[in-house]
Amino acid sequence: MDERTRSARSRPRRKRWRTALRFVLPALPLALAGCASPVDPWTDVVAETVGDEFPLRNESTVVPVSITNLSSESSYFLLVGSGSACMALDRLTARGWHEEYAGPCPQIAGMMELGPGETFRSEALLWVGPGVYRFRLAVSDDAAPPGVVFREVTNAFSLRPQGRAPSS
């Protein structure tokens, strides 16, 4: 078989791959968005919002969060300020999770111990638009970590304008 015949036969195969990639690649970030998250070294700590859909009232809403230490032996430490957990906010976009807000907590109190089996409840007042969001919290196994890293991720939740019917 000569070189021209071989290249002619491989063209349709290349074209099929290009066509498949053209449809698969743009959808890949959305498919991975549910599982793409920072590395979570603290699998015994579970952070979740109390609900998965919240109405926006006057362009704001309060989102309650529950942080639980599932370990029966180890304590973990949570960055808190003004009686609430310090949290970064991510928004889901077509390209994946984008950090919306990671500003400093007002009056940072430091690291609060979350003992074995304990749950800490917190709230966040959000002034953002409708969309799908998640929180990231700073958790450590050390009361005085060398740096604060927001790695513990909550479930995704949506904010919708008040009066709009919840999605099913």
pTM over 0.85: no
Within a 10 A sphere around the Cβ of 126, how many other Cβ atoms? Answer: 19
Most confident range (mean pLDDT) of 8-22, 75-89, 113-127 is 113-127
Task: Return mean pLDDT, the chain.
Answer: 78
Taking 50 as the threshold, does the pLDDT of residue 152 lie above it? yes
Cross-strand pairs, 79? 111
pLDDT digits (tens, 9 = 90+) for 107-134: 777 889 999 999 999 999 999 999 999 9
Mean predicted confidence (pLDDT) in 9-26: 47
Say if CB 145 and CB 42 are below 8 A apart. Answer: no
Token output for 30: 């959305």
Task: Calculate mean pLDDT across residues 31-37.
Answer: 39
Percent above pLDDT 70 for the chain? 69
- Which pLDDT score, from 0 to 100, does residue 20 have? 43
